[in-house]
Structure formats: structure tokens, C-alpha cells
Amino acid sequence: MFRARCVRLALRRCSSAPLPKHAPTAKLLRVQEALEVQNPTNNDVRVQGWVRSIRSQKEILFLHISDGSSLENLQVVADPGLEPRELTFGSSVEVQGKLIRSPHQRQNVELAAESIRLVGTCDVLTFPLKYKTRHPLDYLRQFPHIRCRSNTLGALLRIRSEATAAIHAFFKDNGYLHVHTPIITANDCEGAGEVFQLEPATKDVEPGENPHFFNVPAFLTVSGQLHLEVMTGAFSKAFTFGPTFRADNSQSRRHLAEFYMVEAELAFVDSLQEIMQVMEDLFKKVTDAVLSKCPHDVGLFHKHVAPGLESKLEQMLKNRFIIMPYTEAIEILKRAPCVFTYKPEWGEDLQREHEKYLVEHCGGIPVFVFNYPYDLKPFYMRDNEDGPHHTVAAVDLLVPGIGELCGGSLREDRLDLLQSRLRRMGQEDTFQWYLDLRQFGSTPHGGFGMGFERYLQCILGVENIKDAIPFPRFPHSCVL
């Protein structure tokens, strides 16, 4: 009763004060800004957002408002007479009033409303999100146009935004040029053939005219690496961060047809250790920034989605990543006490079960596996010219729960070896421009790529990669 009388008195003060003929416009605050106010000054403010809960008592109305800027909602206290008739959970509103100190320990301020304007109604019977319900991620996946309003996806998207900013900050602070590499390309960088070919929707070709819009077959990019190699011939360090596409007809929890890649390329680099160091620094710096900027959002995942991940993530951040040759990794797998679906053999690629075992074998610390068999890797990776096993200077970063997160290599900068390999592949003419780079002031260089959605899965414990991107594209599904 005392709480209600205090709030009622505050509301009366707010509503009884005479308004000037030309009242100044109340300052518009985001919910996060309002919650961060330490000493409320009773200035008029406005908040716009969506109703997350309503509790109407005889003498006081409580609303919780969210605008997506914070996991925490702003509590609004109001006279029940201000409640619009059609106000429900999910409605959009604009509330004007005064920020006052809250008597509750869990919140510093609340908004004493002078007016509540209903902006948009919400039919709670057909609205897919239900009041006070923690919807599982597979349920939310059915509603790509609605799921961003849930606490879980809202938190993930704020984390994704902060991680994006931290990645850009890392590369800027370390002297990298940001390059917008093309989405449309004539190159299949990975050489796996899992590409989307691009053609106009309407195709009217005159007799004798080249049937291709660009005069050559064009594809959606699978990597910006080759274009970054062009840039490192002038800028030493370059990176790109954008969408890539893979026509992999898989419905697994690990695959998307459209996903985001962080890729970097460095000139004047002649050791894999330098590439590995950049990978490790990127992972740790970005993760530190996310933990610092989004503690509540990350906490939601570590509490409700992946309990126990917080301590494992701390282990990853405080320990140096382990470095292991591919040959040693195969020997460890052969001695493993478990039976693998795919038998580990030298010359065969590591399967996900192998990658996960190697990380567990190393105590949950991320592992760099390097010097892969020559025949497993693309043409651009540097030949180690070793024996008896023939390897290339390639490296993969394996992390707990995911397996491969990053892949990189030194690039083949020796013209004769690169030309010989392309000739054997029948690709010498196609990649003549790539050979040119080795003839005009070439340098030893290398780089890597990191799957952004896999990174988010790693630090948050999200099992299905379709829940780590706003609008997932995968076989038989391109909604919106």
C-alpha cells in the first residue's frame, strides 16, 4: 500500500503541474539510455517501444517497455486511467513522463507516465510470441519476420552488432585497409564447384551474341581472398567482411547457403606463425569486447542456452592456443580410445568428429592444425616441398563445440610452382591475372578467413547455425 501511495503521489505531481502554452518537446530516450540515468532530474522524456508486460492494479498501472536497445525493460508506472483500451502485450507505444528513482533494488529508475499513446495494436491471440513464455529456438525459426522480437534473438543480434564493430576496430587499430570485395565474381576460389551461377531473370540473346551477361560465367562469391591478394600488392594489409555463398545441398545444423566471412590478407609474411597470431588475437580481442559491451546478452545464452560455457570461454581466452602439425594430429586420432565413423588416415581430411576430439584432447583449448597434405588443399597454398609426406603451408583453427572456425595459409608466391600447378589443372589461362601478381613486385604473403556465424556459435553455445544469422538461407528455404 505504501508503495502504491508513493507512486500515486508522484503521478499526481507529474499530471497536475500546469503546462505552458508551448511546452518544450520531451527528450526522446532509448530504453538503454533511460536505464543508465543515475540521478533522475524529473525532466520530461519520451520512450518509444513495445509492451513486454502489463499489470493493472486498482490504483496503479505497470508496463514494461522494450525498444531493442537493451535486454532489460524499462518499467512504466501510470494512473490506470491512462491505459488505452486496446493496449496489449506486443503493442507499440509512445510514453511521455518523468524519470523518477525506483524503490526497487533491481532497477535504478522508472518512468512516471503522463501520457501513453497507442501506436500499433497487437492481436495477442494470433501473435506467435506468447506472454511470459521462453520459446525454443526451433519454434522461433518458423517466424523469421517475428523472431527478432524475442529475448533470445534480440540478444544475439545485439551481440552480432557489437562483434561486427569489434572486428572492424581490431583491423583498423592494426593498420588494415577495409576493402569491399565483389559479390559477383568469375572465380571459384575454393575450387569445390559448390557455387551459385548468376544469370539475368529475363534472358533475350540475339543470334551471335555471347550468352553470358558478363561474357563469362559469373557466380556469387565463396570468398574474397583472391581480390584481397590483389589489394595487398599495394596496401600490405587488407581485410573484408561480407556475405559469401555456398550451394551445398545440406540441411545440417552447420551449413548455410549465405553466410558472413571475415577475411584478412598480409604482405611480407613468410611464416604461418604470424598468420596464427593474428587469428588468435582477433578471436580474443573481439570476444573481450563482446563480453565487455554485452554482459547481460551474453549472460542469457550462458544461463539458458549453453550452461557451463562461461568457464570454458574463460579458459580459451586466458590460455595460449595450441599448435599441432597435421601429422601429429593424425597420430593422436589413431591412438584415440574411441571409434570414429571415419577412420583417421594420413592424406584424408579431418572430419568434424576428429576436430572435436582433438580440441577435447587438448583440454578444451583451441588448436591450430598446420601443414596439411598437398592434395587436400587449393592451388594457391604454398608448397612446403617436403617429404616423405608432401604438404602445404596451410592452417585451420579448431575450437570447442564447432570444429574448424578459421582456415588460412601462406600463398604460393613462386611463379614457376604456381604456374606448373595451374597448368596441370587446365586453369593457366583463367588465372593469368593471378600469375601476373607474381611477376610485378610480388611478396611473400598469406591470410585467413573466419566464419562469423560459427564464431557466434562458439562464444554463445548456439547449436544451429540458422539461429546465428538474422535471415537464414538454406536448401529449400529462402523466406522473406
pLDDT in tens, 148-187: 999 999 999 999 999 999 999 999 999 999 999 999 998 8
The model's confidence at residue 248, banded by pLDDT at 50, 70 and 90, is confident
Please tell me the distance from the alpha carbon of residue 413 to that of residue 301, in angstroms, as a whole number: 44
Q: Above 80 in pLDDT, residue 442? A: yes
| Tens-place pLDDT, residues 13-28 | 444 444 444 445 789 9
φ/ψ of residue 447, rounded to 5: -175, -175
Q: Is the pLDDT of residue 6 over 80?
A: no
For 352-363, what is each residue's pLDDT tens digit?
A: 999 999 999 999
C-alpha span between 24 and 377 (Å, rounded)? 66
Give the count of beta carbons closer than 10 Å to the beta carbon of residue 368: 22
Confidence of residue 190 (pLDDT cuts 50, 70, 90): low
Q: Evaluate whether 28 touches 55 at the Cβ level (below 8 Å).
A: no
Question: Cell 518523468 identifies what position?
Answer: 98
Please, what is the average pLDDT of the chain?
91
Name the E strands within 103-193.
Answer: 109-120, 177-178, 184-185
Q: Answer whether 260's CB lies under 8 Å from 429's CB.
A: no
For 357-473, strand residue ranges (E) read 367-373, 391-399, 403-410, 445-451
Residues contacting residue 331 through CB under 8 Å, at least 6 positions apart: none
> 55-64, 74-83, 207-216, 278-287: which range is least confident on average?
207-216
Q: What angle do CA 434, 397, 185 make, to 5 degrees?
A: 30
- 83 has a pLDDT exceeding 60: yes
CB 116 within 8 A of CB 84: yes
Strand order across the beta sheet in which 218-220 lies: 184-185, 218-220, 197-198
Q: Give the global pTM.
A: 0.90
Q: Where are the beta strands (DSSP E) in 374-457?
A: 391-399, 403-410, 445-451
For the chain, percent of residues with pLDDT exceeding 90: 78
What is the DSSP code (8-state) at residue 271? -
Separation of CA 318 from chain center: 22
Using a pLDDT cut of 70, give the percent of the chain over it.
94
Report in angstroms the alpha-carbon separations of 94 from 50, 52, 60, 111, 264.
Answer: 9, 14, 18, 12, 44
pLDDT band at 109 (very low <50, low <70, confident <90, very high): very high
Torsion sign over Cα 314, 156, 174, 237: positive
Q: Buried (b) or exposed (e) across 279-297, using 16+ Cβ within 10 A? A: bbebbbbbbebbbebbeeb
